[in-house]
A and B are shown apart, each in its own frame.
Chain A
Amino acid sequence: MKILLIEDEPTVALFIQKGLIESGHSVEYVDNGKSGLNKALTSQFDVIILDRMLPQMDGIDVLNHYRSKNITTPTLILSAKNKVEDKVKGLRAGADDYLAKPFAFEELLARVEILASRNVPTSNTNISLGELDLDLINRTVTRSGQVIDLQSKEFKLLEYLMHNPGKIVTRAMLLEKVWEYNFDPQTNVIDVHISRLRNKIDKGFPYPMIETIRGAGYMISKR
């Protein structure tokens, strides 16, 4: 995957660049908004990682600029401070995801990989993965035709996982999408919710669909 990294803090940039390269991606790195915009306009990338505060040209301005030129490359905004205002501004300007510093590298990697596959169109009435079917209208779930009774949060959890099959979904991402809070879960509380969901989805079936990825998060996949 080809990633453009626009970040002015060298320590953070190095940290991200090394990690992405080690995960098998190719990274182009620039340290200011102007050259970042230039790169975004002239080359093709799968994902752009854009710092909010940049010298010469602000991150939001860079994003506004290339979005106005119909460059729809999925963009993740990094922000130094976890501020609601920054997040709202970023998403309004057309960013696809937002991550506050400091972050764990896995968090960034998981988000970047989900962003890259985001363009796959999904039906908005139901989602299926293998023998698992999610009816978004009637809010019902079946596995191999067997109806599974889920509580509303469990349904939302499963829905988000199934939107990203085969991708790692982190605990922070689940909190953000399912509970709608943006913060760093420092406990195992998400695991408890997942294990309840697993009890209903996987128990009594030939193989588990929800898998724990150590140190990163969860992944749902078909056999």
Chain B
Amino acid sequence: MRAITAYTKSSSFVVSFFFIFLLMLGVGFNSYTLSVANDDLLIRETQAAIQSDIGGFRSLYNASGRTAVKQAVDERVFNHTNDFLYYFKDKQNQYIAGNLARWPKDNVELVKNGVLDIQVSLGHNFPKTSNALKGKEERAIAMIIEFTNGDSLLVARSVQDIEFAVALAQTSSWVMIVIVFIVAITSLGVAYYVVSRINKIADTADDIIATGNLSDRLYVESQWDDLSKLTLVLNQLLDKIESSVQAITSVSDNIAHDLRTPLTRLKGHIEDLKNSDKKSRLIDECDNILAIFNSLLRISDIESSTQISGFSQVLLNEIVDDAVDLYLPLVEAKNINLACDVDIIVDFIGDKDLLFQSFTNVLDNAIKFTPENGSIVVKLKQQDKQIVFSVDDTGIGVNQASLSKLTQRFFREDISRTASGNGLGLSLVSAIVSLHNGTIWFERSHIPNSAGLRCAFTLVSA
């Protein structure tokens, strides 16, 4: 696992952003509707309705006089044909018809187009319409028409409920904006919490991978949520892996141990035989098998050791020189041209014996596969904190497909099967390099005009 570095790459963050976006869309739509359908629009509609009613009364008065208008007002008032409010009076301000309690006071405001904004209250002896309350003052939109003989008719409509609806809609959109904020903050908080817990799991997993310490476990914070369950399951998985690895290690160690005893005994029996060529070959075979077991046990030993308590400060260049010195007779015997380019590295912390073993194994391989009069180049270079050791040869090389398999246990190319060795040398080097936090790789030799192999690895001081 790898920790999430950019929070935008976490699914919980993406989901929260998506939800926040949806809610914002909702708020936007709401505000748009409100801005279009505001009280102006509703009031204009009311005005238009009043105007058309008044137009009707004007023609009625012109055609049939005051009595017809009174009748029409009465009919509207008593039969609920609409929710309008009426007050019909004569020149002397005497009430003629209508459901309003009185003529509005003088201080009415002229809104526009001759429309008045007035406070009205319904007359007591009229049936209540849905809009107006008896005796209570309400805001209404009104128009007044004066007829030719001085009679006046006031037609009004209460706007209380319209204003109430608009106010309600405005409040609800504010509430929604607040909800969006709350949701945004909570979901980002939840996402942050989830991501940081996943990161904790990922960090521990990374640690386990890096150190190979299978006994490490994920920290379980609580027991109730899905992430804790995941942590518990992963811990169980680790338990299982740990016990399997232990079982495998102990089985392979036991095999090696258990087979070594009978093999040693077998070798003893062979030694009791009369001296002959066959006897020596048999003893050699026994020794080979025993050496393989020892190498296997040794590799698994190094691979399973994560501790570096045995490390000490070593002179890396001297170890390389000693390794080259040890192999000099072999180099001379094959008349190989050996070149060394070794940086002086004095402050390296590592295991001297294991490092020596890794250098000699690589060198041994190079000498084995380089023909007489060939060349080998040994390099030890410091690059910042990293140290690179490499050996180039002019040998037969390794085909591209096999390069990555060279460190596998018992891997040998067909072409090299006839050569001595057991296919464990580079596995051992690989284990040692890992112990020193390095990496090993193989490529075509850097020596010009050569098809040989380059084996290189890095080492990092502990």
Q: Do A and B come from one complex?
A: yes
> A residues bordering B, Cβ < 8 Å?
11-12, 14-15, 18-19, 22, 80-86, 101-105, 153, 179, 181-189, 192-193, 196, 214-215
Given A11-B254, A19-B264, A214-B284, are A101 and B297 neighbors across the interface (CB < 8 Å)? yes
Residues of B within 8 A of A104 (CB): 287, 290-291, 294
Inter-subunit contact A181/B265 (CB<8 Å) = no
Mask: chain B, 68-111; 1 = CB below 8 Å from A; 0 = not = 00000000000000000000000000000000000000000000
On whether the beta carbons of B353 and A189 are closer than 8 Å, the reply is no
- Say whether A182 contacts B353, CB under 8 Å: yes
A15 and B329 within 8 A (CB): no
Q: Dominant SS at the B interface?
A: helix
A-B CB proximity, top 3 nearest: A83-B310, A102-B297, A11-B257
Does B19 touch A at the CB level, under 8 Å? no
Max chain A CB contacts within 10 Å: which of B267, B280, B298? B298
Contact of A189 among B257, B265, B327, B356 (CB under 8 A): B327
- Inter-subunit contact B330/A189 (CB<8 Å): yes
Q: Of all chain A residues, which has the CB nearest B329?
A: A192
For the complex, what is the distance from the CA of A214 to the CA of B281, rounded to whole Å?
A: 10
CA A22 to CA B268, docked complex, whole Å? 8
Shortest CB-to-CB span from A179 to chain B, Å, is 6
CB contacts between A and B, total, < 8 Å: 110
B294 and A82: CB pair below 8 A? no
The answer to whether B301 and A82 have CB atoms under 8 Å apart is yes
Having A15-B261, A18-B261, A179-B322, one finds 20 other A-B pairs with CB under 8 Å, namely A11-B258, A15-B264, A19-B264, A22-B265, A22-B268, A82-B298, A82-B354, A84-B310, A84-B312, A85-B310, A101-B301, A102-B260, A104-B287, A179-B326, A183-B357, A184-B357, A185-B360, A186-B295, A193-B326, A214-B280
Q: Are B360 and A189 in contact (CB-based, < 8 A)?
A: yes
CA distance A84 to B311 in the complex (A): 7
| Pairwise interchain contact A81-B352, C-beta atoms closer than 8 A | no
Contacting residue for B298 out of A12, A102, A196, A214, CB 8 A = A102
With A102-B297, A103-B294, A183-B357 as given contacts, are A81 and B330 in contact (CB-CB < 8 Å)? no
**How far, in angstroms, from A187 to B291 measured CA to CA in the complex?**
11
B265 touches A18 (CB 8 A): yes
Q: Which residues of B contact A181 (CB under 8 A)?
A: 322, 352-353, 356-357
Chain B residue contacts of A81, Cβ below 8 A: 301, 305, 310
Question: What are 10 A-B interface contacts by the 8 Å CB criterion?
Answer: A18-B264, A19-B264, A82-B302, A101-B297, A183-B354, A183-B356, A184-B295, A184-B357, A186-B295, A187-B420
Which residue of A14, A186, A215 contacts B283 across the interface (Cβ within 8 Å)?
A: A215
CA distance A19 to B361 in the complex (A): 30
In whole angstroms, what is the CA distance A179 to B254 when docked? 33
Complex interface: chain A residues within 8 A of B369 (CB): none
- Which residues in B have their C-beta under 8 angstroms from that of A188? 420
Flag whether B415 is at the interface (Cβ < 8 A): no
Alpha-carbon separation in the docked complex, A83 to B306 (Å): 12
* Residues on the A chain within 8 Å of B325, using CB: 153
Q: Knowing A15-B264, A183-B354, A214-B284 touch, does A189 contact B310 (C-beta < 8 A)? A: no
B294 touches A215 (CB 8 A): no
B364 within 8 A of A: yes
B309-343 contact mask (Cβ, 8 Å, vs A): 1 or 0 = 11110000000001001110110010000000000
Q: Is B393 an interface residue (CB 8 A)?
A: no
Binary per-residue interface labels of chain B (423-452) against chain A in the complex, 1 for a CB within 8 Å, 0 otherwise? 011000000000000000000000000000
In the docked arrangement, what's the CA distance between A105 and B257, Å? 12
Q: How far is the CB of A160 from chain B (nearest CB, A)?
A: 15
Residue B389 CB within 8 A of the other chain: no
Residue B117 at the chain A interface, CB threshold 8 Å: no
Q: Which residues of A contact B183 (CB under 8 A)?
A: none
Inter-chain contact B310/A192, CB cutoff 8 Å: no
- A102 and B322 contact, Cβ closer than 8 Å, known pairs A84-B353, A214-B280: no
B403 interface contact, C-beta 8 A? no
Tell me whether A14 and B261 are in contact (CB under 8 A). Answer: yes
How many Å from the CB of B320 to the closest CB on chain A? 12
**CB-CB < 8 A to B258: which residues of A?**
11
A193 and B327 CA atoms in complex are apart in Å by 9
- The answer on a CB contact under 8 Å between A215 and B287 is yes
By the criterion CB–CB under 8 Å, are A12 and B310 in contact?
Answer: no
Report A-chain residues with C-beta under 8 Å of the C-beta of B351: 82-84
A82→B284 contact, CB < 8 A:
no
Chain B CB within 10 A, most for which of A22, A153, A187: A187
Nearest opposing residue in chain B for A15, CB measure:
B261
Residues of A within 8 A of B420 (CB): 187-188
A50 and B309 alpha carbons, distance in the complex (Å): 22
Interface string of B28-46 (1 = CB under 8 A from A): 0000000000000000000
Interface residues of B in 330-378 (CB under 8 A from A): 330, 333, 351-354, 356-357, 360-361, 364
